[in-house]
């Protein structure tokens, strides 16, 4: 009990009022005390109170307050609702607890929708979106359309695209994929995931023919709207029914080896924006598109740090709605396959303008602009817990605007802050101590940092007070004779500062994304090439913004 005296008034507030009320009203319902309505299903009679049902469900509110015939009776027939789902939802109205799993989710969604429980319906649809599997994604696709949930539909289609090979082989409902969805999938078939040890065209052809055993689409129509999109060499023609083989243009077999699919996205985020842009590395001609939007980020990525592992994005810290100077503790996780955002455990220390990377199964965060950021933290993916690591290197502002990266054996911090001629880089030794890295590099401010396909550290672009934006690039090499040294890997076509820098180990290409002075361009250095080239006819959404970038596996 909380007692407050205001003027000549005593105000009593009971912290447990709502809890006690729910406890008593639930006990009354169980004992049949004061109940004034009975809900009849095929196998159960559920006693309840009209006032509770009306307060929780617009369906019951209209029934009991307007001129419905059911309002005149003490029992209502709800045989369209299953016994278990109706009882669970009525219990939820009384005690505020509802447990949803894959066994009961569809019936709860159906009954919740019928009773106009909008918040419950929305929560269950989000649950379906976040728990997509090879077994349930096709069913979830139908649920999304049935309940007009575009987000669930798009997530289920993305999951289907990312797991197409396994779903084709394992899911007995594969033939139930709607024809329109099959047409859309195959109109951009190179974005469908096929395992790297398999040839895409045979797998996709066989999957369509298997799907058509259930759908019986006329072969002429199936060819025109689905199969003709595939790139058939002569050796693949025999996979088609005899009737369709004559429709394939007989091409000579190519002597050049076909490049394997990368199944990777290059993602990019402008510092002050919420949209995550992506470039499908198997379909570069499609250009940059919007992948998703970072949720609840009033100031976009400002002050936050982004890193990736596999098909997940990890965003730490940043600044929040409490003000642009207020740092955040939060960890945001994006799952590409399910197209969902979730909140991970908060960091120990709120941080902004810090570095992060993944090293040996840990997510490390480093530094920041605020007090208390002098100690590094690490997140254990297995235990789901944050813990403190070592202190940051002992120099002024190095904890701010620094690049933290994982080398083969340890961690390295490269400073991106201070005057133009002062740069201090540090590496973490075997004894968990920071050691000054005494290898000089080009003085520059606000370059982009990354790693090349071999794992060597890259420094790209930047600016100098006297020369403006820079086109110069450097890579940190370990020379057997001379030891560590920074070496040039050519000049960019567009001088730029603060670009995103990423590399694909699958194709050996380095990508430089956006930045101030870039005009929204993306440049690449392909494996074996000595010169950078701009990817033509594609542009980022924010042409003159600072960018971060990363590789995301599909």
Give the Cα separation of 237 and 202 in Å (integer): 9
Residue 423 covered by a domain? yes
Residue 424 covered by a domain? yes
| 231 and 295 assigned to the same domain | no
Domain CATH number, residue 109: 3.30.710.10
Contact call for residues 440 and 415 (beta carbons, < 8 A): no
Residue 42 covered by a domain? yes
| 334 and 434 assigned to the same domain | yes
Contact call for residues 316 and 354 (beta carbons, < 8 A): yes
pLDDT in tens, 389-446: 877 766 554 445 567 887 766 788 777 654 444 567 778 776 778 888 888 788 888 8
| 283 and 394 assigned to the same domain | yes
Domain end (from 194, 212, 245):
245
Model confidence pTM above 0.85: no
Q: What is the pLDDT of residue 5?
A: 53
Residue 92 covered by a domain? yes
Instruction: Return the axis-axis angle of helices 118-130 and 150-162, rounded to nearest 10°.
Output: 10
pLDDT in tens, 435-490: 888 887 888 888 999 999 988 899 999 988 888 999 999 998 876 555 688 899 99
| 81 and 127 assigned to the same domain | yes
Q: What is the pLDDT of residue 399?
A: 47
Domain count of the fold of the chain:
3
At 489, is the secondary structure helix, strand, or coil? strand
Give the Cα separation of 133 and 125 in Å (integer): 15
| 362 and 503 assigned to the same domain | yes
Residue 1 covered by a domain? no
| 293 and 422 assigned to the same domain | yes
Between the alpha carbon of residue 49 and those of residues 61, 93, 355, 523, the distances in Å are 12, 11, 56, 67
Q: What is the pLDDT of residue 254?
A: 47
- Give strand ranges (E) for 238-384: 264-270, 275-280, 289-293, 304-309, 312-317, 319-320, 323-327, 331-335, 340-344, 355-359, 362-366, 375-380
Contact call for residues 311 and 336 (beta carbons, < 8 A): yes
What residues contact residue 443 under an 8 Å CB cut-off, 6+ apart? Answer: 420, 421, 423, 464
Domain end (from 131, 165, 185):
131
* Domain housing 114: 29-131
Give the Cα separation of 56 and 86 in Å (integer): 13
| 88 and 165 assigned to the same domain | no
What would the two tokens of residue 310 be? Answer: 């596999």
Residue 251 covered by a domain? no
Sign of the Cα pseudo-torsion (190, 195, 197, 202, in order)? negative
Residue 442 covered by a domain? yes
Instruction: Return the axis-axis angle of helices 17-31 and 83-95, rounded to nearest 10°.
Output: 140
| 521 and 499 assigned to the same domain | yes
Which stretches of the chain drop beneath a pLDDT of 70? 1-17, 249-259, 321-324, 393-402, 408-409, 416-423, 430, 479-483
Distance of CA 550 to the CA centre of its chain: 13
| 126 and 205 assigned to the same domain | no
Q: What is the pLDDT of residue 371?
A: 76
| Residue 267, Cβ density class (10 Å: 0-12 exposed, 13-18 middle, ≥19 buried) | buried
Domain CATH number, residue 416: 2.120.10.80
Residue 518 covered by a domain? yes
Domain end (from 67, 96, 131):
131
Q: What is the pLDDT of residue 279?
A: 94
| 121 and 144 assigned to the same domain | no
**The length of the chain, given as a count of residues:** 554
Give the Cα separation of 158 and 136 in Å (integer): 13
At 467, is the secondary structure helix, strand, or coil? coil
| 345 and 486 assigned to the same domain | yes
| 172 and 61 assigned to the same domain | no
- Give strand ranges (E) for 257-339: 264-270, 275-280, 289-293, 304-309, 312-317, 319-320, 323-327, 331-335
């Amino acid at each position: 009990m909380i007692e407050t005296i205001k003027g000549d008034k005593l105000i009593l507030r009971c912290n447990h009022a709502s809890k006690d009320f729910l406890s008593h009203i639930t006990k009354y319902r169980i004992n049949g005390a004061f109940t004034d309505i009975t809900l009849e299903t095929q196998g159960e009679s559920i006693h309840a109170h009209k006032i509770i049902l009306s307060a929780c469900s617009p369906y019951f509110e209209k029934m009991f307050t307007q001129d419905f015939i059911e309002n005149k009776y003490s029992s209502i027939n709800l045989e369209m609702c299953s016994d278990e789902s109706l009882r669970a939802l009525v219990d939820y109205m009384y005690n505020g607890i509802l447990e949803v799993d894959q066994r009961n989710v569809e019936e709860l969604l159906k009954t919740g929708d019928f009773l106009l429980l909008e918040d419950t319906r929305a929560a269950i649809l989000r649950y379906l979106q976040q728990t997509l599997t090879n077994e349930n994604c096709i069913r979830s696709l139908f649920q999304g359309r049935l309940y007009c949930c575009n987000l669930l539909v798009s997530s289920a289609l993305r999951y289907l695209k990312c797991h197409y090979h396994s779903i084709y082989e394992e899911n007995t409902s594969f033939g139930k994929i709607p024809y329109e969805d099959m047409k859309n999938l195959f109109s951009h078939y190179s974005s469908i995931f096929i395992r790297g040890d398999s040839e895409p065209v045979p797998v996709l052809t066989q999957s369509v023919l298997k799907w058509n055993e259930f759908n019986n689409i006329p072969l002429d129509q199936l060819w025109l709207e689905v199969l003709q999109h595939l790139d058939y060499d002569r050796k693949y023609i025999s996979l088609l029914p005899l009737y369709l083989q004559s429709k394939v243009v007989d091409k000579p077999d190519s002597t050049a080896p076909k490049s394997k699919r990368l199944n990777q996205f290059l993602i990019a985020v402008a510092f002050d924006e919420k949209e995550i842009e992506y470039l499908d590395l198997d379909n570069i001609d499609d250009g940059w598109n919007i992948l998703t939007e970072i949720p609840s980020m009033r100031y976009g990525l400002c002050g936050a740090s982004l890193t990736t592992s596999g098909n997940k994005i990890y965003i730490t810290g940043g600044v929040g709605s409490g003000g642009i100077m207020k740092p955040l503790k939060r960890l945001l996780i994006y799952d590409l396959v399910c197209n969902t955002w979730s909140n991970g455990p908060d960091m120990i220390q709120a941080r902004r303008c810090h570095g992060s990377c993944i090293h040996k199964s840990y997510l490390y965060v480093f530094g920041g602009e605020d007090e208390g950021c002098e100690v590094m933290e690490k997140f254990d993916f297995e235990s789901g817990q944050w813990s403190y690591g070592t202190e940051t290197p002992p120099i002024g502002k190095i904890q701010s605007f620094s690049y933290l990266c994982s080398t083969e054996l340890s961690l390295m911090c490269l400073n991106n802050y201070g005057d133009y001629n002062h740069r201090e880089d540090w590496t973490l030794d075997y004894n968990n101590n920071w050691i000054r890295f005494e290898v000089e590099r080009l003085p520059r401010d606000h370059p982009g940092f990354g790693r090349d396909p071999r794992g060597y550290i890259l420094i790209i672009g930047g600016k100098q007070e006297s020369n403006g934006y820079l086109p110069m690039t450097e890579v940190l090499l370990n020379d057997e004779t001379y030891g560590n040294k920074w070496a040039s890997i050519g000049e960019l076509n567009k001088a730029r500062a603060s670009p995103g820098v990423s590399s694909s180990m699958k194709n050996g290409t380095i990508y430089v994304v956006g930045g101030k002075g870039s005009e929204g361009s993306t440049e690449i250095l392909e494996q074996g090439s000595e010169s950078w080239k701009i990817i033509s006819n594609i542009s980022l959404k924010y042409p003159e913004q600072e960018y971060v970038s990363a590789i995301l596996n599909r």
